[in-house]
């Protein structure tokens, strides 16, 4: 078990598969500031592991994948602290997950509401157990979906589906979510992790560099990380070229390169 700095966010790495578990079932896996920071550290740790080819994220217990941001953690914040700390740091953590070089699979073994749905949206693939409900209830509390619920969620789920959840307050079942593209598969209760492991093993058998490059290109097509994707892929091409070797040799030999 890797140390994320918070005992309520577990990270384990077994061969090619990394697994993140939100372990705060007594609070329906709602996120406070420490857990948000731990999620970012977990993402950075996975990114740094050369042998990891795919990651899974899920919640402990069967009631909630993640109930979103813990109301007690943010309700007393000043407007400045809410916007400049809580929302911004949440974006940093969720961006780190969405932009992992490895594909990320979310196992929705319980309800995914508000920030929990936004967390699920960071994944490339989502498996929901049949009892799960999905929604964006924030406006009913007088707040906005602040962790990219009006941005990444729209890119990945479509604007009309997000309007139905965020503006009209609709809550969808797992089966409805499958039809709407909110999730990619629906499985019986307690079968989410076995299904995710089987999917992760399929991903891990594919060419790792090709898979990672393809994920970056798909993200770029969505507008997720266009600049980084272009520079990373172009940089890899340049780094593999004879020009780089000549440039480095010329630099070390204090001569003009011959390209």
- Report which of 120, 225, 131, 192 is spatially closest to residue 162, judged by C-alpha positions: 120
Catalytic residue among 40, 118, 129, 224: 118
Number of other CB atoms surrounding residue 28 within 10 Å: 20
| Pairing assessment for the beta strands 133-135 and 111-113 based on DSSP bridges | parallel
20 alpha carbon, distance to own chain's centre? 11
Q: Give just the sign of the alpha carbon dihedral 59, 48, 2, 70.
A: negative
Q: Is 138 a catalytic residue?
A: yes
d(CA 180, CA 35): 30
d(CA 89, CA 31): 12
d(CA 123, CA 121): 5
Catalytic residue among 138, 222, 224, 246: 138
Residue 221: C-alpha distances to residues 15, 195, 202, 218 (Å): 30, 28, 24, 5
Contacts of 126 (CB under 8 A, 6+ apart): 105, 106, 108, 120, 182, 183, 184, 185
Q: Is 129 a catalytic residue?
A: no
DSSP letters for 96-141: HHHT-SS-EEEEE-SEEETHHHHHHHTSSEEEEETT-EEE--GGGG
Tell me the catalytic residues.
Answer: 118, 138
């Amino acid at each position: 078990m890797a140390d994320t700095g918070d005992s309520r966010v577990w990270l384990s790495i077994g061969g090619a598969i990394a697994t993140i578990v939100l372990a705060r079932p007594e609070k329906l896996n709602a996120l406070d500031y420490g857990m948000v920071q731990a999620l970012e550290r977990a993402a950075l740790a996975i990114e740094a592991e050369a042998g990891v080819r795919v990651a899974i994220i899920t919640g402990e217990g069967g009631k909630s994948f993640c109930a979103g941001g813990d109301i007690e953690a943010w309700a007393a914040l000043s407007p400045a602290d809410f916007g400049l700390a809580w929302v911004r740091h949440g974006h940093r953590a969720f961006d780190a997950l969405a932009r992992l070089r490895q594909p990320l699979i979310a196992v929705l073994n319980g309800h995914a509401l508000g920030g929990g749905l936004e967390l699920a949206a960071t994944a490339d693939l989502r498996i929901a157990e049949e009892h799960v409900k999905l929604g964006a209830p924030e406006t009913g509390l007088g707040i906005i979906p602040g962790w990219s619920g009006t941005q990444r969620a729209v890119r990945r789920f479509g604007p009309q589906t997000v309007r139905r959840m965020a503006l009209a307050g609709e809550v969808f079942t797992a089966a409805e979510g499958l039809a709407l593209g909110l999730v990619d598969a629906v499985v019986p209760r307690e079968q989410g992790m076995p299904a995710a492991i089987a999917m992760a093993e399929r991903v891990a058998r594919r060419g790792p560099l090709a898979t990672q490059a393809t994920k970056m290109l798909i993200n770029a097509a969505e507008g997720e990380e266009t600049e980084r994707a272009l520079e990373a892929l172009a940089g890899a091409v340049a780094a593999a070229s004879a020009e780089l070797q000549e440039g480095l040799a010329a630099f070390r030999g204090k001569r003009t390169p011959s390209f």
